[in-house]
């Protein structure tokens, strides 16, 4: 019922030349056609070349961020419409790195989600707790607070295209993948929050992804969990072969 999805988030990595090579290599290994959604989120500067080289494949594009207003005098920002115009179908919002380094609040992320929906982008909303919050048993409280504030005021129509990525901060870029039981516990909590707050039918279709040091060794057991519908991959998505190995070993 929920189509599996694997997203590669390149973060602030890859020049135009390496982006092009990545796509060529990936499409050489596989045509990526199948029963899952494969999405790549390059930096803004590589979106155009990745789009060009992906032409004719089933791999979709995502932006890593967008501006909190629709258009105008915001030097250095990229709008939702610009991402759509550049060929993106998805956008990643609320990533913990943006919350931490750019001080993005839940309220700001909420504004961005509205703009993304208006432009027809599918939102991947990231949530997750720090190690300190986990150790003091606050994980579910943090997730609930983030979900409630980031999704406030959105209509059922807008929420239809939402995916939620659980990314515990302590697992990102550390090599410490959360274990499958920890992941299922939180995903189960997110699913029940969706049912309570968004309704039964939305809770059935909302995809919940896990992200945090995923590799091809950890991915099969993660994907085997009933509430894990996909993966959000950082470091291991930077090489086409390891990204492909994750896809191949998980489905």
Catalytic site residue from 97, 129, 133, 167? 167
C-beta nearest to ligand 13P: residue: 234
- Crossing angle, helix 139-150 and helix 180-198, to 10 degrees? 40
Question: What count of other Cβ atoms lies within 10 Å of the Cβ of residue 223?
Answer: 21
CA–CA separation, 16 and 49 (whole Å): 7
Looking at the Cβ atoms of 30 and 215, the one nearer to ligand 13P is 215
Q: CB 69 → ligand 13P: shortest distance, Å?
A: 24
134 phi/psi in degrees, rounded to 5: -65, -45
* 158: Cα separation from own chain's centroid: 17
Q: Is 187 a catalytic residue?
A: no
In angstroms, give the least distance from the CB of 228 to ligand 13P.
15
Which residues bind to ligand 13P, rule: CB under 6 A? 9, 95, 167, 172-173, 211-214, 232-236
User: Bridge partners of 6?
Assistant: 38, 231
Catalytic residue among 55, 95, 133, 156, which?
95
Q: Do residues 59 and 38 lie in contact, with contact meaning Cβ atoms separated by under 8 Å?
A: yes
**3-state DSSP assignment of residue 74:** coil
How far apart CA 198 and CA 196 sit, in angstroms, is: 6
- Minimum distance from residue 156 beta carbon to ligand 13P (Å): 27
Q: State the nearest-atom distance from the C-beta of 147 to ligand 13P, in Å.
A: 17
Rounded Cα distance between 232 and 146, Å, is: 18
**Angle at alpha carbon of residue 71, lines to 86 and 167, rounded to 5°:** 65
Cβ distance to ligand 13P smaller for residue 47 or 198:
47
Residues serving a catalytic function are 95, 167
């Amino acid at each position: 019922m929920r189509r599996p999805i694997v997203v590669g988030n390149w973060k602030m990595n890859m020049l135009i030349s390496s982006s092009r090579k990545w796509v060529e290599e990936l499409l050489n290994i596989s045509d990526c056609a199948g029963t899952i959604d494969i999405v790549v989120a390059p930096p803004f500067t590589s979106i155009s070349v990745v789009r060009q080289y992906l032409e004719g494949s089933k791999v979709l594009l995502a932006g890593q961020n967008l501006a909190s207003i629709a258009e105008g005098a915001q030097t250095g920002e990229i709008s939702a419409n610009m991402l759509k115009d550049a060929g993106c179908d998805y956008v990643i919002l609320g990533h913990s790195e943006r919350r931490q380094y750019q001080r993005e609040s839940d309220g700001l992320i909420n504004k961005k989600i509205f703009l993304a929906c208006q432009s027809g982008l599918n939102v991947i909303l990231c949530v997750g707790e720090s190690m300190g919050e986990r150790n003091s048993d606050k994980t579910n409280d943090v997730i609930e607070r983030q979900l409630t504030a980031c999704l406030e005021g959105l209509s059922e129509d807008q929420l239809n295209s939402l995916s939620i990525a659980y990314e515990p901060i302590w697992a990102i870029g550390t090599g410490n993948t959360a274990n499958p039981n920890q992941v299922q516990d939180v995903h189960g909590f997110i699913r029940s929050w969706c049912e309570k707050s968004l309704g039964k039918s939305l809770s059935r279709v909302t995809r919940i992804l896990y992200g945090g040091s995923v590799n091809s060794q950890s991915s099969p057991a993660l994907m085997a969990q009933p509430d894990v519908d996909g993966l959000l991959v950082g470091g291991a998505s930077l090489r086409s072969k390891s990204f492909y190995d994750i896809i191949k070993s998980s489905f």
